[in-house]
Amino acid sequence: MTRLAADVEDPAMLSWAKPTTDTPEYIKEAAKRALDDGRCGGYSPTSGLPALREAIVEKLERDNGLRADPGEIIVTVGAIEGLAAAVMALADPGDEVLTPTPNYSTHIRQIRVASAVPAFVPAVEEDGWRLDLDTLKAKITPRTKAFLFCSPVNPTGAVFEEDQLEPLAEILIENDLYAITDESYEYFTFDGARHVSPASLPGMAERTVSTFTFTKTYAMTGWRVGYVWAPGGLASQVMKVHIPFAISAPTVSQYAALGALQGPQDCVREFGEKYLALRDLTCRRLDGLPQVFSYVKPQGSYCMFPKILTEEGRDSLAFCKRLLLEGKVSMTPGVAFGPTGEGHARITFCDSAETIDKAFDRMEEYFGAA
């Protein structure tokens, strides 16, 4: 959709899952100091700067209830590289990796790049996009190795809280399966929903590779820095993939990340408040198009996944292409997010209120005339 939008004059972009807010100044200053001090010209240790890994350990204990050791932390090129390394480390060709549908499209590709097979577990829209745990149990075979998922969820905005994670953990432990978690949106939850790191549940730490990122939390998409917590022997297995994938994360980005953790955290709260306001605006504007969309209000992230009610919406790719080319509004077709994503579109609300209003003004005109 981004490539198609390049040929459209002044498109209203609701398809980019990246903050438009600039990286906070104190983070940029930390990177500048490292550059000026001559600390960024070489590789860092492959697992990351020692000071950064120690700061990550403190953050994990404070915010996630995880008791980590710096030797279990691997700083990666965003969460994406950490997730890919985890999948490659845990799944052999032909193995199966459970993953929700709808789910982040890159997770599905990571499983396939590892020559493993995605086994899709539906999240039930009518139940607030909760996981169908009965289907998950039925999908487990002798070839199943892991369950890969994110919470808060891209694209639905669902948050898997303890009432879902605890029975999920029991299933994984009973079947000796790993969990690979993408916790990129951990700080952005709404309406009392609470992010819980699955590795904090009893019996889960030793079977979980937890991935996090600075990208969303601190508006650092371009810096490409995230991290993995892989307890015990899991870290050495993930490192076997991380080194040929990346050698190390960019050194200057690691100093920026260290500055992010050591500096004031007001920006995280402010970003969360901004996304809540933009979520509410997006929902109000969707309410003005009841003949076109129905939706589940997202509890987290800055994504939502409305169902397309028109006949053309059965083919989400055709629907989104036509809306972009004729209505000048870009959404992501739901078919990209797994088998049950078809008939939906992903909307992101991490841009400005002006962009959201512009997009919905155009859609009201477009669908009103259609």
3-state helix, strand, coil in the chain (%, to 5): 45, 15, 35
pTM exceeds 0.85, yes or no: yes
Contacts of 307 (CB under 8 A, 6+ apart): 125, 293, 294, 295, 313, 343, 344
Q: What is the pLDDT of residue 204?
A: 97
Nearest to 121 by CA among 135, 108, 140, 141: 135
Q: Average of pLDDT values for 130-135? A: 96
Q: What is the pLDDT of residue 17?
A: 79
Given a cut of 70, whether residue 153 has pLDDT beyond it is: yes
Sheet containing 345-348: which strands, arranged edge to edge? 303-304, 345-348, 332-333
The pLDDT tens digits of the residues spanning 262-294 come to 999 999 999 999 999 999 999 999 999 999 999
Two tokens, residue 340: 């049950």
Q: How far is CA 272 from CA 44, 190, 230, 275, 300, in A?
A: 32, 8, 28, 5, 9
Rg, C-alpha atoms of the chain:
20
Peptide bond into 244 cis (omega under 30): no
The pLDDT tens digits of the residues spanning 155-197 come to 999 999 999 999 999 999 999 999 999 999 999 999 999 999 9
The residue to which tokens 């279990």 are assigned: 72
Q: What is the pLDDT of residue 107?
A: 96
Two tokens, residue 55: 């700061």
Q: What are phi and psi of 266, to 5 degrees?
A: -60, -35
Q: Average of pLDDT values for 22-30? A: 97
Cα–Cα distance for residue pair 197/26, rounded to 1 Å: 28
Q: Average of pLDDT values for 13-33? A: 92
Q: What is the pLDDT of residue 320?
A: 97
Given a cut of 90, whether residue 2 has pLDDT beyond it is: no
Q: How far is CA 285 from CA 281, 294, 358, in A?
A: 6, 12, 11
The string of DSSP codes covering 174-233 is HTT-EEEEE-TTTT-B-TT-----GGGSTTTGGGEEEEEESTTTTT-GGG--EEEE-TTT
Given a cut of 70, whether residue 369 has pLDDT beyond it is: no
Q: What are phi and psi of 281, to 5 degrees?
A: -60, -45
| Four-residue CA torsion sign, 159, 18, 249, 245 | positive
* CB 356 within 8 Å of CB 349: yes
The pLDDT tens digits of the residues spanning 93-107 come to 999 999 999 999 999
* CB 249 within 8 Å of CB 224: yes
* CB 361 within 8 Å of CB 369: no
Strand-pair category, 208-213 with 329-330:
unpaired
Q: How far is CA 296 from CA 127, 290, 303, 304, in A?
A: 9, 13, 11, 8
Q: How far is CA 325 from CA 4, 214, 291, 331, 367, in A?
A: 8, 34, 21, 11, 14
Mean pLDDT of the chain: 96
What is Dmax (Cα atoms) for the chain? 60
Residue percentage of the chain with pLDDT more than 70: 99
Two tokens, residue 191: 């309406």
Contacts of 355 (CB under 8 A, 6+ apart): 12, 13, 14
Query: Rounded to 10 degrees, what is the CA torsion of 288, 294, 300, 303?
Result: -80
